[in-house]
A and B are shown apart, each in its own frame.
Chain A
Amino acid sequence: MDLAALENQTRAERWEKGVKIGEGTFANVYKGTEKATGRKIAIKKIKVGEMKDGLDMTALREVKFLQELHHPNIIGLLDVFSVKQNVNLVLEFLDTDLEAVIRDKSLIFQPADIKSWTAMSLRGLEYIHRNGVLHRDLKPNNLLIASTGELKIADFGLAREFGDAKTRMTSQVITRWYRPPELLWGARYYSPAVDMWSIGTIVVELVLRVPFLAGDSDIDQLKKTFHAMGSPTEQDWPGHTKLPDYHEVAGYPPNPWWNLVSPLGRDGQNLCRELLKFDPMARVSAKAALHHKFFTTGERPTAPILLPKPLAELRPRDIAPQDVAGMPDSGTKRKNTTPNGTEQRSIARKLFA
């Protein structure tokens, strides 16, 4: 046995694999424990052997970025090891996600709770951006909540580094409801501002408890956006008419949409307006947003441990073996472009699948 294999074996032996809690196209997720401490973990087993074209791109991205990013508000990758043909990722075990929290109508949010969630996601995002990475798939579904109430950004399957000039990036990223107008118009050179828009829509969603801009196609998404916020003009977004897929969606009058988030107070409304500016250059950066007055005045953010959480029975359950057996994936690659409606999938599957 060579050294690498030996190393791999000692790593694999640190973790105890438990029952399956989720299954996706390219990975299965198992509950597990750390043998030494008994700490709960999740093991994501990537099916390499069964894939025709090698390791899935999203899995590769996930490993690549999670290995480098370490922050309290980002899901922790504890270890990677392989068993036979498969790659196993050892991740922090997290109870639930923000979407489950938003959808649970028995929970009541206070403005201070929303402030706390916003602050935590911005902190994680600031770190991601500072390290030259775009997340490109922020949505309540991907903001996981630990048992301590801390929010952690997960799912780096679509992340990429933003670096050199003249590299075109794809505009087909970010779940549609959280996608900024520049991507809907096909911008190929964009900036961390795309993630800021997603955060903005998530903050509004936290207040409304329904997705803010829920379009059912890309064109409809633009219409919904401008219906809510008014069509952009050359003045408030210079250069938008030059975007590759630009088509005119004019004629919607400006609308004081920030009244929707009036429970957050004037500073909160102001932050939302900063986050949801049409012009990506004018949109606030994660760092600037963290220094916004919203976080430093008025009610203080709720301590994470006191944040509302769904009841225990809503947390992920073990999947019964018969359910797993009869659950072939539909074959659609996990692509974030079709937002999943209210369909109740197992949390763990949503997280990792």
Chain B
Amino acid sequence: MSTSAARPTLKRPVNPVRRPGASVGMRRPPGAASNGPGAISRGAGLAPGSKGNDDGYLYVAGVRDPSKRVTEYRTEQDVCPVCQTDRQFNKNLRLLVSPCYHKMCESCIDRLFTLGPEPCPQCDKVLRKVNFAHQTFEDLKVEKEISVRRRMAEIFNKRREDFESLRDYDDYLQTVEEYTFNLLNDVDVPATEAALSSYTTDNASLIATNQQKKAMEALSQTERDEVEKRARAERIHMIEEAERVDRAEEIRVKAEIVDALARPSGGQELAKEIADRAAKAKAARAAALAATVPPSLAALYNVKDVDETPHSPNSPSYAGPYVPIPYSDPDEAEWSHWYNLKDNYADGRAGVVWAKEDREGAVRGGGWDISLFWEMEVRSAVEALSLEPLA
């Protein structure tokens, strides 16, 4: 720790990220299953979908997607806190969660909220029917944290490159974390909400840009190229269309000017006026075009404040005190220029012929590559020539 404390600059730690699909909080100790308030018949079978496993743990039941991930959490012990109905009484009992994180069953929700917004029976917050959602996690705190964090991530999507210095970025992250904490723990909620909404209105355009960037990054490189290509085609089309209009207009204006000059009197002034008007209209069209043509998406990636000075793993390049690690880059070795590798060699050895043909497809899939082998052979033939003779 002492080494990291002595760092010259404050850097963002790499947060341990949870693997997808890792079941966190999805386990219960054995026995917990039959201790619930609604357990009438002790141990009378597990909920459908739940199964014990080897280490004696009971996996919580729930609706699972094809990859076995729980998408909706439910147990045998579910009881509606409003009408006290349990799963023994109503097999299809489904508890939903309100925005204030109170559970109630579907029939209670229908009963209470069909006629419009009503206060929550448990905390008096006014709720609407559409705002109830199903529960994914056993712990409602997790549920709440996820929805709050999702909401925050939507709004606070600034990136490192949107800030002048790392310090500013860290301060920003700190503020976001404070807001999140406030919302999670119901501290100062009205003030926080006000801050959020003022932030959202102040930064609307930046938020939209960053959302677009994020959408682009979610695409794979090929998809991204595809989008970029389409945008480019679109741009080219718009520009060509504008040029066509320009040319037609020019021809028309020229004809008008000729007509005007052909008049017996005042032709000069009229021609000048027409030319001026045409020039103005052209400028206006160009401005309109510049405003409507979508900018290149690549321009979004103009990242500023990135250390572009070349440094490589082969050269002294380390932060902090200069500590070079010796590395003999084969590209810089003398002998590397003593041969040029060809794509193919007339190599008649049985093994090589066999590998080149690869009739059974035994080589391709495993990645064995004959050129690797040639490269090594050719290289080893010349490499030693650079060695000093032994004294």
**A binding-site residues for B, Cβ under 8 Å:** 72-73, 106-112, 114, 116, 119-120, 122-123, 126-127, 130, 132, 150, 162-167, 182, 185, 187-194, 207-210, 212, 227-228, 237-244, 251-252, 254-257, 260, 262-264, 266, 279-281, 283, 287, 290-291, 295-309, 311
Contacts and interface: CB of A to CB of B under 8 A. Distances in A.
B17 A207 contact: yes
A300 B319 contact: yes
A110 B369 CA distance: 37
A227 B14 contact: no
A270 B218 CA distance: 13
Interface string B348-382: 01111011000011111111111011001000100
Nearest to A254: B220
8 contacts: A109-B13, A111-B12, A165-B349, A208-B16, A242-B361, A290-B313, A296-B310, A300-B318
A242 B355 contact: no
Contacts of B360: 242
The 5 A-B residue pairs whose C-beta atoms are closest, nearest first, are: A280-B367, A187-B366, A165-B351, A242-B361, A166-B351
A239 B365 contact: yes
A135 to B, nearest CB: 15
A243 B366 contact: yes
A85 B218 CA distance: 62
Interface stretch (B1-9, B34-42, B248-256, B338-346): B1-9
B366 A306 contact: no
A191 B14 contact: no
B323 interface: yes
A165 B355 contact: yes
A297 B307 contact: yes
A260 B19 CA distance: 8
B4 A240 contact: no
Nearest to A305: B323
A311 B366 CA distance: 42
Given A110-B11, A256-B218, A301 B367 contact: no
Interface residues of B, number: 62
Given A212-B19, A291-B312, A72 B217 contact: no
B325 interface: yes
Contacts of A240: 365
B312 A295 contact: yes
Interface in B300-338: 306-308, 310-314, 317-323, 325-328, 330
B313 A188 contact: no
B325 A190 contact: no
A244 B376 CA distance: 27
A5 B78 CA distance: 80
Interface in B218-254: 218, 220
Given A72-B327, A239-B361, A260-B19, A300 B366 contact: no
Q: Do most interface residues of chain A lie in helix, strand or loop, or is the interface mixed?
A: loop
A305 B267 CA distance: 86
A239 B66 CA distance: 28
B67 interface: yes
Contact of B325 (A150, A243, A299): A150
Contacts of B322: 303
B368 A190 contact: yes
Contacts of A132: 376, 380
A53 B147 CA distance: 63
Which residue among B13, B325, B361 has the maximum number of chain A CB atoms within 10 Å of its CB? B325
Nearest to B366: A187
B15 interface: yes
Contact of A290 (B314, B325, B351): B314
B372 A192 contact: yes
Contacts of A194: 367
Kindly name the residue among A106, A130, A238 whose own CB sees the greatest number of chain B CB atoms within 10 A: A130
Given A165-B355, A166-B350, A304 B323 contact: yes
Nearest to A295: B313
A189 to B, nearest CB: 4
Q: Report which residue of B21, B306, B368 has the largest number of chain A beta carbons within 10 angstroms of its beta carbon.
A: B368
A207 B14 contact: yes
A36 B121 CA distance: 83
B20 interface: yes
B311 to A, nearest CB: 6
Contacts of B320: 302-303, 306
Contacts of B14: 108-111, 114, 207, 263-264
Contacts of B307: 297-300
A240 B362 CA distance: 9
Contact of B367 (A126, A190, A307): A190
Given A122-B313, A166-B354, A227-B67, A108 B13 contact: yes
A349 to B, nearest CB: 26
A110 B7 CA distance: 11
A302 B352 CA distance: 44
Interface in B101-120: none
Given A163-B373, A305-B323, A116 B318 contact: yes
Nearest to A120: B325
Given A166-B350, A295-B312, A301-B317, A243 B365 contact: yes
Contacts of B308: 297
Interface in B92-145: none
Contacts of B317: 295, 300-301
